[in-house]
Amino acid sequence: MGVRSRIFLTIFLSLFLSVIATYFITERDLRRGIENQLVSELEKEANLIVENIGNVSSFQSLEESDAAADNLGSIIDSRVTLISNEGEVVGDSSLTIQEISLLDNHLNRSEVIEALKNNRGWSSRYSNTLDSNLLYFAVLDENIEEPNVIRVAVPLSSLDSALSSLELAISLLFIVVFIVSVFASFISSRILYSNIEALDKAASRIIDGAIKKKDIKALPTQRVDEFGNVARTISQISADLKQRIQDIAKQRDQFGNVLNDLGEGILVADNNENIFYSNEQSQIILELQKLNGRKLQSLNIPAINYLTERAKEKKKADIEFEIELKDKTTRWVLGSMNKSKSTGEFILVLHDISQLRQLNSMRRDFISNLSHELRTPVSVIRANSETLLSGALEDKKEAAVFAKAIMHNSERLSEMVSDLIDLSRIEYGDLKLNIRSIDVNQIIESIVFSMKSILKRKNISIKFDPHQSKSMVEADLNALERIINNFIDNAYKYSPKNSLIVITTESSNSDIKINIIDEGDGIAPKEMNLIFDRFFRTASARASEKTGSGLGLAIVKNLVNSLNGKVGVDSNEKGSTFWFTLPKAK
């Protein structure tokens, strides 16, 4: 049975029982009222008989006293019974003399007993003699020496008749009341249920966290009873809860953003090793999607399994491990895991140390390359100096050769030191730039002309093919010249003899793009992203032992960035295209 049915049944039964109880109480009170009225009338009639009948004992015979009773009964239209002080019936208006002689002694009748004791008494009971219910009233005649009892009786059928007509009217009234009660029960139960339903729905939605404005509007907050109090309380709880949820969501988003911005991968698993939180960086580092809901062991990473076992033993552990990526490259990761003492949750922090390891490798290579590059000129300078000191100074021709060698290698050392200083100044923002409008075509033409004599050493041709006569950019003159010089010098170093270097320009809405195209060996795909890193030299450069510190392109990249431009390289099996962009002059 539903709540609405139970509410209706409760209200209906309450009203129904109230109506039935009221009906019977009303009927009882009516019966008592009519009965009391009859008793009062019988009392008047009995008193009237007492005043007019005289002494019952003065009658000479039963026939005479019965005749008197018959006469009085016909006058008042009621049964009149004359009873002697000994309880014998000496007259009855409703009985013959023969029937009177058969009657029992009436001293045991309740109304007679009461009359003898208190002068008057009444009762209602079934009369075997007349075979009907009668209302009796007895009064003691005290006007004589030996008191007699005069009793008056009327059939209760008159009472029943009066009650029947009243009961019909009352019954009709109560039927109407009953119908109204049923309707009122239905309406009341419906209103009550709608309020309960609104409260229940709002409370359920609050529990589910899906409370809506229409649910709040449906609450009976305007009522001034307990429903209204509960509705207003739920409405306030909903508003407070909604605000708290918004605050928590905001804090969660802020916390999530902080974790995503950290640069480290974060994984959190419960005490059953089920992952329930992972930030974006963790998915990037592990190159796995949809980590939430998975077990730590299902990641199939032995290092993470090792960290988990160590964490279970309440031992903090860090471990470096490799991950083979989809592009067949390797990523180095530093993993650290702790287990919460309070919640038992596993917290895994992942650091992508690939660049750090690569940087360390590059530094080692740089130190090795720089040591090699420094060792050669230093050794040449030292050897030639020792030769000169050992007597070669006397031979002017030989001395000049040794002196030129010392001079050349000194210049190489100076260039390396200068490159290191310049790169450091650019990276730390100490380089002063004078940004102005410059025609890049004019700068390229000037540098191409000045380098032709150097290019002739390898019989390399150079061609400049601008897209238009002028290409105005926003740049610093010295920085722009150094960028172009470094690119052309780099192309010269890695181009074979009898090859061609081509320089072109392109224009877009906001930038000028300069391309330097050579016919060298090309750059391996895995080296493309490293070519502009400092200290980096390609495998082909290391194999051919070409001179250079590996700082030139790093300087170019930093200079282009400082001029708000972009730099890049495209390469295939033969030849490379280095390019950079600069903002157009306004």
Q: Is 220 exposed, middle or buried (0-12, 13-18, 19+ CB in 10 A)?
A: middle
d(CA 223, CA 231): 9
Give the integer Cα–Cα distance in Å for 141 and 83: 10
Q: Return d(Cα 155, Cα 158) in angstroms, integer.
A: 6
Structure confidence at residue 85 (pLDDT): 80
**C-alpha–C-alpha distance, residues 177 and 17, integer Å:** 12
Same fold, 262-352 and 435-583: no
Tokens read off for 47? 């008193």
Give the architecture (CATH level 2) of 54-155: 2-Layer Sandwich (3.30)
Domain 435-583 has CATH 3.30.565.10: yes
Cα–Cα distance, 197 to 115 (Å, whole number): 67
How many residues are recorded in the chain?
A: 586
- As a whole number of angstroms, the distance between CA 482 and CA 548 comes to 16
Those residues whose C-beta lies under 8 Å from the C-beta of residue 248, and which sit 6 or more positions away, are none
Instruction: Compute how many other C-beta atoms are within 10 angstroms of the C-beta atom of residue 76.
Output: 18
Cβ atoms of 83 and 149 within 8 Å: the answer is yes
End-to-end alpha carbon distance in the chain: 83
Token pair in block for residue 489: 């010098």
Q: Where are the chain's structural domains?
A: 1-24+165-260, 54-155, 262-352, 357-427, 435-583
Report how far residue 239's alpha carbon sits from residue 206's, in angstroms, rounded to the nearest whole number.
10
pLDDT of res. 197: 64
CATH-assigned architecture of domain 357-427: Orthogonal Bundle (1.10)
Chunked into runs of 10 residues, the chain (586 residues) has average pLDDT values of 64 73 76 76 80 62 82 84 86 86 87 88 82 85 72 78 69 76 73 66 59 58 63 68 74 68 82 86 84 86 88 81 84 88 86 83 71 73 83 77 82 76 77 91 93 90 90 93 92 91 93 93 84 72 57 88 93 89 92
Q: What is the pLDDT of residue 123?
A: 87
Q: Residue 505's beta-bridge partner residues?
A: 514
What does the pLDDT read at residue 414?
A: 81
Q: Please give the pLDDT value at position 205.
A: 59
The matching CATH number, chosen from 3.30.450.20, 3.40.920.10, 3.40.50.2000, 3.90.380.10, for 262-352 is 3.30.450.20
